[in-house]
Structure 1
Amino acid sequence: MEKTNRLLYEASVEGNPTALLNLLQEDPLILDRVTLNNNDDMPLHVASMLGHIDFVKEILIRKPHLAMEPDSQRRLPLHLASAKGHAVVVKALVSASPDTCLARDRDGRNPLHLAAIKGRYDVVKELVHARPHAARAVVQQETILHLCVKYNQLEVLKFLVERVDDHEFVNSKDTDGNTILHLAVADKQLETIKFLLLDTTIEVNASNTNGDTPMDILAQGPRDVKDEQIIQLLTRAGAFEMKTEGFLGEVPLNRKKMALDSSKYSKKPRVPSHFKKDSKNDDDWLDKKRNTLMVVASLIATMAFQAGTNPPSGVWQDGSSTDPTRRAGYAVMVYNHPNLYHVFLVCNTVGFVSTLSIILLLISGLPFLKHRFFLWILMVIMWIATSSMSITYLVSIWVLTPKPEAETFRTVVNGIMLVWIGLMTLLVAGHSIQLMNFFSKQPFRRKKAILSPIVINNAEI
């Protein structure tokens, strides 16, 4: 019996399916007996770890239940194949038993966790495709995203964030209350920080159990050449420090002692008060503009709806059997001024849809709408809406005015339209210049914030 077990072990190490078949002919129960002891040298475990796909398939064809057999560390063959990056073997094991994707080893990790830690991109894709819910499994309050950052596996992190696409999942916290941005900043993973700030919905000012934001974490660590770039990225994303009143004097005594004993003073960049004031005033200005846009858009939408359902000249009260355009409820304007009615209907609809779009965007609560650029886009949409409603009014008055007075009215309207076009052009140009000035000043503001005095023990240097 011992000799047979040794031959089976050697066949699994070599990945020799012929030797396996010969042993099974001699003893059909040999695989079942070997797995009774839960040893670490079970044939399917060994072959999966070494990537012997033919050997693995021969076992799975005859004994598919062996894919669920754990070793002494509670690891399944899928754990070993995932950690080693054998994507073909992983696919075969998952096909035999898809639920193995959710199985946990003695440390509480499933195969997807091990693949993410090792950066096995192809394996991660295979496992997530088979069981997407495996990505949400938590290990000691750490998500798989925390593991990706801890082990600096950026490509796997990008794939998982894109595939799961969940705001709460991206902003999950570990036992210390740290988000993945806290961990990336603490380890100064520049590329990971760029990805999180630019391509995810990470909360840049989330605080951990100590009340530290990512900017606080950066200020507390040793300084190096990456700090300036990280500060620029965080500042641009709207990050701030929770502890802004100085530095070592405001932190707990044990942390102060650690900083002094190590002779590595945490240099905390202090944002100038005038910069904070400008930022607050800018936010107040944006809020007022958004509120104004909401009120005006609501009024214009109401006007457009009323004009659409009750057009100029009203509707026919009775119908005509000979003329299909003269039916009860149809607009009189269609019969008297068909061309002008089309202009009226198009302009009124444009104004109505434009204002509804503004209202929908403002109540959606999307974070990017708090930026000046998107507020400028909303202003352009409002310009389109007001211009459309002006043309609607012009057509309405034209239709309701008798012929003799219409010629005089046309002359007056031509002058008014020229003034209106000039005014609208001036407004759009003015807002465009103001927007460009705002963007041109941003690098200077960030530079002033970054180069502000550094405070150590309440002394500026």
Structure 2
Amino acid sequence: MVSKEVEMKLYNAASSGDLTTLVQLLEEDPYLVHGVSFPCSRNLLHVTAIHGQTSIVEQVLKLNPQLARISDSEKSSPLHIAAAGGHVEIASKLLSVAPEMCWRRDDQGMNPIHVAAMNGHVEILEILLLESCMPAMERLHRGQPVLHLCVKHAQLRALKVLVEKLGELVCAKDDDGDTLLHLAARCGQLETIEYLVENKALNLRTRNAIGKTAHQILKEIPRTTVNYSKMENLLTDFSIFIVIPKMTNSIMVVLVLIATMAYQSVINPPGGVWAGDDDKSSHKAGEAVMASTHPDAYINFMNANFMAFICSITAMFLFTIKVHKFLYPFMFMLTFIVNMGMALLSIMGTFLESMYAITPDELMKSKGNNILLSSTVWLSIFGLMPVCAAGVRHLYRWWVSEQSRQQVDLGADAFPLRLRLLYWTSQHLDMPTIFRALR
């Protein structure tokens, strides 16, 4: 039985790093290194690891390396304590003696890798991962991976190290379906969100178990939170591919077809080109015949054709880029729609001018006005109405949100009758998905 006095001397020597006193006590009673137990069932290695006494750890490991495999009453091994305290040398020595302790879990279910990550001790984390990355795959309470633990405790440096070593875990979810972005948004961590967005492995549109995205989670915290607007911009994922996924192929085919038609119309205009030079009329080989026979129509044709080509190229560009920080997604979508509509209108303009150039004047005088009137009516109905309906819907919803924020009565007479009728009409129009996305 070890006396309280000897036990206190041993504890003081181990905690203060007094190697001389420790060796003297152990020479007097070699059993001390094996049998002494301090509060919480801790042995000498626990005590020296707590106080970061590397020289004492070396001496104790020489006398009894099995102490590195013993846990205290909280199921924490000396490696757990070294990882929590950030004692790199001690962790390295303990790991060399008992590498299997990387897997040992304490009463919180955490192994030394979890403990090092939670406390942000990157050097120890790298040493442990160098030994084995498999313990880092172990999940915690409610299925949280170690990466979630880093975000929860705002340890960005540790998170970067783990993502570099365990890239496949970056998309992992916990039992609630939360990704790293969901957790970072809930905790309001701007730097973590910036890093995860730049990583591009995570999809901003991913939903958790209750169907919420990271952006929707962010809206649950007060807007007065520091850097709220920056986080909102980062988590706003606006892409035509995402808004209208079912129409992706169809729209791209239409845009490419318009650009191809515009290009072909330039190199092969209506009426063809002159086959050879003509000194009498100053015609040159390759020039458009329409430019000489119908100069005004040819200018209109070229303007419309140029507009169709430029608008189709612009729409393709808007269609393929992904805008994370765009502050006005409605305006971005509207810009795409306008470009798409202008491209279609321009193609119709080239068609009408081409038909005018190749149609005999007698027939054009009798039928031309009817064709022009029919085209105008068709464009007004199927071109402008959906855009106007989308605009009215957006205006109405903005008005409702503003009135709700100001706690104003939203009775039936609060909004002008004509706008309410337009809104009802826009709600019942059978419009394409691209306009429903603007809701």
- For the aligned pair, the TM-score class normalised by the smaller chain equals 0.5 to 0.7
The equivalent of 1:342 in structure 2 is none
Distance apart, 1:73 and its partner CA? 0.7
The equivalent of 1:145 in structure 2 is 147
List aligned pairs for 1:178-189, cutoff 5 A.
178-189=178-189
List aligned pairs for 1:255-266, cutoff 5 A.
none
List aligned pairs for 1:49-64, cutoff 5 A.
49-64=50-65
Contact 1:104 1:110 in 2 (8 A): yes
Distance apart, 1:28 and its partner CA? 1.4
In structure 1, distance between residues paired with 2:181 and 2:243:
26
Does the C-alpha gap of structure 1 residues 133 and 159 become closer, same or farther in structure 2, counting only changes over 3 Å? same
List aligned pairs for 1:317-336, cutoff 5 A.
none
Does the C-alpha gap of structure 1 residues 237 and 17 become closer, same or farther in structure 2, counting only changes over 3 Å? farther
The equivalent of 1:114 in structure 2 is 115
In structure 1, distance between residues paired with 2:121 and 2:185:
24
Q: Which has the higher contact order (CA 8 A, sep 6+)?
A: 1
Contact 1:9 1:41 in 2 (8 A): no
Contact 2:238 2:323 in 1 (8 A): no
| 1:4 equivalenced with 2:6 (yes/no) | yes
Does the C-alpha gap of structure 1 residues 23 and 174 become closer, same or farther in structure 2, counting only changes over 3 Å? same
Greater than 6 Å deviation, 4+ residue runs: 275-278, 429-433, 439-445
Distance apart, 1:108 and its partner CA? 0.6
Distance apart, 1:81 and its partner CA? 0.8
In structure 2, distance between residues paired with 1:188 and 1:138:
23
Contact 1:231 1:450 in 2 (8 A): no
Does the C-alpha gap of structure 1 residues 286 and 72 become closer, same or farther in structure 2, counting only changes over 3 Å? farther
| 1:449 equivalenced with 2:329 (yes/no) | yes
Does the C-alpha gap of structure 1 residues 457 and 173 become closer, same or farther in structure 2, counting only changes over 3 Å? farther
Secondary structure of the corresponding residue to residue 140 of structure 2: coil
| 1:170 equivalenced with 2:170 (yes/no) | yes
Give the AA of the match of 1:138.
R
In structure 2, distance between residues paired with 1:204 and 1:444:
9
In structure 2, distance between residues paired with 1:187 and 1:142:
15
Does the C-alpha gap of structure 1 residues 220 and 234 become closer, same or farther in structure 2, counting only changes over 3 Å? same
Max radius of gyration: which structure? 2
Contact 1:83 1:115 in 2 (8 A): yes
What CA deviation, in whole Å up to 9, does each residue of 1:282-335 have, x standing for no partner?
73358759xx9xxxxxxxxxxxxxxxxxxxxxxxxxxxxxxxxxxxxxxxxxxx
Contact 2:237 2:325 in 1 (8 A): no
In the superposition, the TM-score normalised over structure 1's length comes to 0.55
Secondary structure of the corresponding residue to residue 144 of structure 2: coil
What CA deviation, in whole Å up to 9, does each residue of 1:190-242 have, x standing for no partner?
1111111111512322222211111211222221352322232222475xxxx
Q: Which runs of 5+ in 2 are unaligned?
A: 257-308, 332-393, 407-439
The equivalent of 2:357 in structure 1 is none
The equivalent of 1:133 in structure 2 is 134
Distance apart, 1:449 and its partner CA? 2.2
After superposing the two structures, state which structure 1 stretch, 125-134 or 15-24, moved more. 15-24
Secondary structure of the corresponding residue to residue 219 of structure 2: helix
In structure 2, distance between residues paired with 1:216 and 1:196:
17
| 1:29 equivalenced with 2:31 (yes/no) | yes
Does the C-alpha gap of structure 1 residues 441 and 123 become closer, same or farther in structure 2, counting only changes over 3 Å? closer
What CA deviation, in whole Å up to 9, does each residue of 1:249-274 have, x standing for no partner?
xxxxxxxxxxxxxxxxxxxxxxxxxx
Q: Which runs of 5+ in 1 are unaligned?
A: 239-274, 293-428
- What is the CA RMSD across the aligned residues, in angstroms? 3.8
Contact 2:238 2:329 in 1 (8 A): no
Give the AA of the match of 1:190.
L
Contact 1:74 1:105 in 2 (8 A): yes
In the superposition, the TM-score normalised over structure 2's length comes to 0.58
The equivalent of 1:384 in structure 2 is none
After superposing the two structures, state which structure 1 stretch, 439-448 or 145-154, moved more. 439-448
What CA deviation, in whole Å up to 9, does each residue of 1:88-109 have, x standing for no partner?
1110110111011111111111
Count of matched residue positions in the alignment of Structure 1 and Structure 2: 288
**Aligned partner of 2:249 among 276, 281, 284:** 284
List aligned pairs for 1:88-127, cutoff 5 A.
88-127=89-128
The equivalent of 2:212 in structure 1 is 212
Does the C-alpha gap of structure 1 residues 227 and 288 become closer, same or farther in structure 2, counting only changes over 3 Å? farther
Contact 1:184 1:192 in 2 (8 A): yes
In structure 1, distance between residues paired with 2:113 and 2:103:
8
